[in-house]
Amino acid sequence: MAAIKETHHFYPVLFYFRFEDAFYAPSHILLVALDAAALVRTALDPRELGWLQDSAALAELERASALLLRTLNQNFPVRHARSVDSPNSDERWRLRYSQALLRLRDAGIATRADSEAGAHEYVDLRATWEAPIEALALALGFRMEEVDRAGHSGRPRAQDRSGDRQPFARTHP
C-alpha cells in the first residue's frame, strides 16, 4: 500500500490511466485492503488471534490504505458518493460480515464469540471508508458493484459494464 501511495504521489498522472477491469483499480485494491483489515479487527477471536489484531503490519496496512485513499480523494476530481447513506448499506455490510465469518469458520480460523458486536463494529469501520472508495471508483469510471463484488449481488452483465462510465484513457496489459 505504501508503494502504491508513493507511486501515485510521484506520478499523479497514473490516476488518469486505468485497465478496463476494476480488479486493478485503486478503489478495488483499497477496498480489499481495508475490508480485510476490518474483518481481522472485528471477526477474529481476540483470545487466539489478538496478536494479529495488535500487529504493526495490520496497523500499517490500515494507515497506508487510509493515506492513499485520502490522497487520491483530495488531489483528483472525485465527487463524494451518496449511496453509502442508503438504508440498505448497513444491511448489506452486515450480510458481508456474516458471509466472511462463515468462510473464516469453515477454514478453521477462530472467530469471536459475540458476532453481533463484531458485526456492529464492522459496520462502523466500513462506514468510515466506503463513501470515499465509492467516490474514487466513480471518478475512475467504475460502479461499486464492479469494485466490490463480494458486497453486492453478483457480477455485472457484460452490457452493463460500460453504460455509466466517464471517458478516461484506457491502458492495456
Q: pLDDT at residue 81 above 70?
A: no
**Domain range list for the chain:** 2-149
List, for residues 91-127, the tens digit of each pLDDT value: 999 999 999 999 999 999 999 999 999 999 999 999 9
Q: Which range among 26-35, 104-113, 145-154 shows the weakest confidence by mean pLDDT?
A: 145-154
Q: Is the pTM of this model over 0.85?
A: no
pLDDT confidence of 78, banded at 50, 70, 90?
A: confident
Contacts of 111 (CB under 8 A, 6+ apart): 43, 44, 45, 101, 104, 105, 118
Long-range contacts of 12-20 (CB under 8 A, 24+ apart): 12/75, 12/76, 15/72, 15/75, 15/76, 15/140, 16/168, 16/169, 17/168, 17/169, 17/170, 17/171, 18/140, 18/141, 18/168, 18/169, 18/170, 18/171, 19/170, 19/171, 19/172, 19/173, 20/170
